[in-house]
Amino acid sequence: MVDTHLANLSNQLMLGAVLVYVVAMVAYAAEIAFARRSAETEVPAEQARVLVGAGGPEAASDAPDAEETVADDGRRIDWSRFAILMNVIAWGLHGAEIITRGMAADRVPWGNMYEFVSAIAFAAVTVYLVMVWRHKVSWLGPFLMVAVVIALGIATIWLYNDPGPLRPALHSYWIAIHVTAAVTATGTFTVAGVATVLYLVKSWVPAREGGVLSRVPGAAALDTLAHRTIMFAFPIWTFAIIAGAIWADSAWGRYWGWDPKETWSFITWVGYACYLHARATVGWRGRKAAFVSLIAFACLLFNFFGINYLVSGLHSYAGG
């Protein structure tokens, strides 16, 4: 029996989360824009000392720094902190949406594509916020928020299904283990994918002083970030495949049957294994490693979307 009040609350929380994610995205963009303006109008220190000594305006002390701009009443607006605050609020609303969705249907909140996309986006934002807390990577925020807003928009407009009971094959405690691991790994791989795309853009497009790319670390730092993120996600993806095989044995009487979802999960695993192996053994860095990473990420996306909509199999649960 579905609780319609909780279901409606979950839908409203999703809309609220998307709106606040958009606010966070705009705030991140404002941080970049005002940082660019600050860089273009900043007075060099030597020139500032000359002006002050000559009785000129104290430009150096009044100029906004890279992450702040001055409001009309003289207070400074820290766009970076505001963006992160909005990001955390959106993350909280998003988490509440997932919880109320599960409570409305009295089951784990990942039984169809709408719920999968929501959970993966939530996992990606969670990984990002942890990285902001540990490694100060707020510069990744605007790019990841674009991906999150697009994903949640697609889920809400085209993939939405009303909460309902799970299919009989999904009635197992393994869904909480296997799917949670798969969702966590996919969200983390998404963060790595965004960092990899930024790496390629940064390595190909010269960063104009004061431009958007000037706010992004160097290509080497992006390459390292993507590598470490994939190293974290890869064991979780491995565990998800193993857990899925154990579940398949209890549900279908075999550990592995080369179902399309199983096959492409394994292909994705091989892609990321090749990436990590190439870096560890032959020392691949930079573009070679980035291309292998993106091929693996493309396999992951096909495994998630293509298998559910284009291929018929035992794991085709796109419709709920």
* Residue 315 domain flag: yes
Residues 149-158, mean pLDDT to the nearest whole number: 95
Residues 71-91, mean pLDDT to the nearest whole number: 81
Cα distances from 194 to residues 68, 188, 225, 233, 248, in angstroms, run: 25, 10, 10, 14, 32
DSSP the chain: ---HHHHHHHHHHHHHHHHHHHHHHHHHHHHHHHHHHHHHHPPPHHHHHHHHHTT---HHHHS--TTEEE-TTS-EEEHHHHHHHHHHHHHHHHHHHHHHHHHHHTS-S-SSHHHHHHHHHHHHHHHHHHHHHHH--GGGHHHHHHHHHHHHHHHHHTS-----PPPGGG-STHIIIIIHHHHHHHHHHHHHHHHHHHHHHHHHS---TTSGGGGSPPHHHHHHHHHHHHHHHHHHHHHHHHHHHHHHHHHHS-S----HHHHHHHHHHHHHHHHHHHHHHS---HHHHHHHHHHHHHHHHIIIIIHHHHS-STT--TT-
Provide the domain count of the chain. 1
* Residue 275 domain flag: yes
* Residue 179 domain flag: yes
* Residue 259 domain flag: yes
pLDDT reported for residue 183: 96
pLDDT class of 33 with cuts at 50, 70, 90: confident
Q: Mean pLDDT for the chain?
A: 84
Can you give the residue range of the structural domain that contains 205? 166-320
CA distance 210 to 38: 8
pLDDT class of 122 with cuts at 50, 70, 90: very high
pLDDT tens string 232-277:
999 999 999 999 999 888 888 888 888 888 999 999 999 999 999 9
Contact criterion met (CB below 8 Å) for 109 and 169: no
Model pTM? 0.85
* Residue 127 domain flag: no
* Residue 302 domain flag: yes
pLDDT tens string 42-66:
444 444 444 344 444 444 444 444 4
pLDDT tens string 177-196:
999 999 999 999 999 999 99
* Residue 178 domain flag: yes
* Residue 183 domain flag: yes
